[in-house]
Amino acid sequence: MTVNGRAIAPSATFDVVNPATGCVEAHAPECTAEVLDAAMEAAAAAQRHWRLDESARRAAMRQLADSVMQNADELSSLLQLETGKPTAVAAAEPPLCATWLEYYAAMDLPRETLQDNETALIELVHRPLGVVTAITPWNFPLALAMWKIAPALRAGNTVVLKPSPFAPLATLALGRIMGDVLPAGVVNTVSGGDDLGERMVAHRVPRMVSFTGSVAAGRNVAVSAMADLKRLTLELGGNDAAIVLDDADAEGVAASILEMAFFNTGQACVLPKRIFVPSGRYSEFVEAFAAVSAKMTTGDPKASSTVLGPLSTRPQYERVIDLVADAITGGAQVAAGGAAIEGPGFFFQPTILAKVAEGTRIVDEEQFGPALPIMAYTTVAEAIDRANRSEYGLCGSVWSADRERASTVAEQLEVGTTYVNAHGTLLPTIPFGGVKSSGIGLENGWAGLVSFTEPQVVHSSHADVAAVMGA
């Protein structure tokens, strides 16, 4: 762990498992109450200086971007070890961190003139909040941490960061790199289980919680953060629908959707997780999806031919086994895959399920794995209605040869981001967030910076000082 710019030797550790082998590969530090207090106090002390000099902040963030890239190999190999990501997916995260840092280093904090006349100059400015508690999941540990750290730092906040106990190693290494480049205490990185996250949310020092994770944990975080009115961003789960219109090319759409649906072995918030295709072409679409899926290679994450690695955690592996078995028991037909792969590690065959009814868990819940239900619809209105019948509202997509027609359908999806002939493209410039149970608030883009600030009205009266003083 890195606290106040220094490495902290742990008094206790927990195991970190390599999902490609199922074996314990490392021991990560367990953060004690004393170390957490020290991290929070260091962040609070650092923030008093960090908030003052905008150009120093920009320079430090750019230096950090360079340092992340100089250490990219170490970061991506740790990431691969603890998550089982295929090499290309693991290698993508350090450059994403650098991109986010550069993007926010260049951004100006907004300052709006509300009134400027003979009576007064009144402006709306954005102040930093103070210390931010940042909590991340195991699926994109570095990139998601940087979605928080880069705008938080740019706005003048300091951070205490905790990764998932399933994948803490790359984030702890990033913490060391940040500790070497940034002034002491500006980012403090600790590790531990969900209980540590709870203590970080309830802690008296932070003024904001930026949380990415499951809906269940997000609900608890929200209740706890509200006790002392901390500001809050929640980026939670998704169960995105993709609606394929009747004019779409089956092979092309199946290839495009599956490239996203099984990206990172199906373990991302923003992926197609429920597919709706027209009933008149149902078999054609199921066959197309099955054919593409059957060609996707699952195996050693380090092999260049590998498209899908293992599930990243044992609970997630067991959950996917469970959800697919439940669907098959409920009458679903297996068009491709359908079972775990024998041997060590948490591998599951890329799976296409046909004739899955709503009300089945794999349709109603977020599967977070390489198993995709394909459902038939009769009218587009019915498909929209069924897509919206979900507690989630992260993203959705519509696929068609007619972009305008698809846009009309896409705009009817109750989601934070709706795509046409695409799904899951995320950019530093574009605000991202969910509606309904998928979250509160936005990350990325201008909105992502503002969410790490609080507005302040600066009202400067032109009244004669003597008159004000009653002279």
> Annotated catalytic sites, by residue?
235, 269
Nearest residue to the partner ligand NAD, using Cβ: 197
Q: Does 365 bind ligand NAD (CB under 6 A)?
A: no
Question: In terms of CB distance, is 154 or 162 closer to ligand NAD?
Answer: 162
Question: What does DSSP say about strands 231-235 and 208-212: parallel, antiparallel, or unpaired?
Answer: parallel
3-state secondary structure of 45: helix
Point out which span in 230-238, 325-333, 335-343, 377-385 binds ligand NAD (CB under 6 A). Answer: 230-238
Q: Does 361 bind ligand NAD (CB under 6 A)?
A: no
Q: Does 164 bind ligand NAD (CB under 6 A)?
A: yes
Structure tokens at 81: 């070890």
Cα angle 139, 84, 304; round to 5: 120
Helix H segments across 245-379?
A: 250-261, 282-294, 314-329, 361-364
Q: Does 424 bind ligand NAD (CB under 6 A)?
A: no
Point out which span in 170-178, 216-224, 246-254, 273-281 binds ligand NAD (CB under 6 A). Answer: 216-224
Structure tokens at 62: 């750019």
Q: Which of 244, 197, 243, 242 is CA-nearest to residue 216?
A: 197
The answer to whether 374 touches 257, Cβ cutoff 8 Å, is no
For every residue of 65-83, DSSP letters joined together read HHHHHHTHHHHHHHHHHHH
Question: In terms of CB distance, is 27 or 403 closer to ligand NAD?
Answer: 27
The answer to whether 235 touches 151, Cβ cutoff 8 Å, is no
C-alpha 36/C-alpha 87 separation (Å) is 33
Q: Does 274 bind ligand NAD (CB under 6 A)?
A: no
The answer to whether 121 touches 113, Cβ cutoff 8 Å, is yes
The distance of closest approach from Cβ of residue 56 to ligand NAD in the complex, given in angstroms and rounded to an integer, is 30
The answer to whether 26 touches 63, Cβ cutoff 8 Å, is no
The distance of closest approach from Cβ of residue 466 to ligand NAD in the complex, given in angstroms and rounded to an integer, is 55
Select from 232, 269, 292, 387 the one that contacts ligand NAD (CB under 6 A): 269
Select from 5, 86, 128, 137 the one that contacts ligand NAD (CB under 6 A): 137
Select from 236, 257, 277, 340 the one that contacts ligand NAD (CB under 6 A): 236
Q: Does 162 bind ligand NAD (CB under 6 A)?
A: yes
Select from 18, 158, 189, 212 the one that contacts ligand NAD (CB under 6 A): 212
Point out which span in 157-165, 257-265, 340-348, 380-388 binds ligand NAD (CB under 6 A). Answer: 157-165
What is the footprint of ligand NAD within residues 431-460 (CB under 6 A)? Answer: 434, 439
C-alpha 423/C-alpha 194 separation (Å) is 31
The answer to whether 334 touches 351, Cβ cutoff 8 Å, is yes
Q: Does 165 bind ligand NAD (CB under 6 A)?
A: yes
The distance of closest approach from Cβ of residue 29 to ligand NAD in the complex, given in angstroms and rounded to an integer, is 14
Q: Is 217 buried (19+), middle (13-18) or exposed (0-12) by CB count in 10 A?
A: buried
Q: Give every CB contact of residue 221 below 8 A, 6+ residues apart in sequence.
A: 135, 197, 201, 209, 211, 213, 232, 234
The answer to whether 59 touches 154, Cβ cutoff 8 Å, is no
Q: Provide the mask over 77-116, with x wherever binding to ligand NAD is found by CB under 6 A and - wherever it is not.
A: ----------------------------------------
Q: Provide the mask over 298-337, with x wherever binding to ligand NAD is found by CB under 6 A and - wherever it is not.
A: ----------------------------------------
Structure tokens at 140: 């994109």
Structure tokens at 178: 């940040």
Q: Which helix (H) or strand (E) holds 167?
A: none
Point out which span in 16-24, 46-54, 62-70, 206-214 binds ligand NAD (CB under 6 A). Answer: 206-214
Q: Provide the mask over 175-204, with x wherever binding to ligand NAD is found by CB under 6 A and - wherever it is not.
A: ------------------xx--xx--x---
Read off the amino acid at residue 18: N
Read off the amino acid at residue 115: Q
The site for ligand NAD, by CB under 6 A, has a size of 30
Q: Does 214 bind ligand NAD (CB under 6 A)?
A: yes
Residues of the shown chain interacting with ligand NAD in the complex, contacts defined by CB under 6 A: 135-139, 144, 162, 164-165, 193-194, 197-198, 201, 212-214, 217, 220-221, 235-238, 269, 366, 368, 394, 434, 439
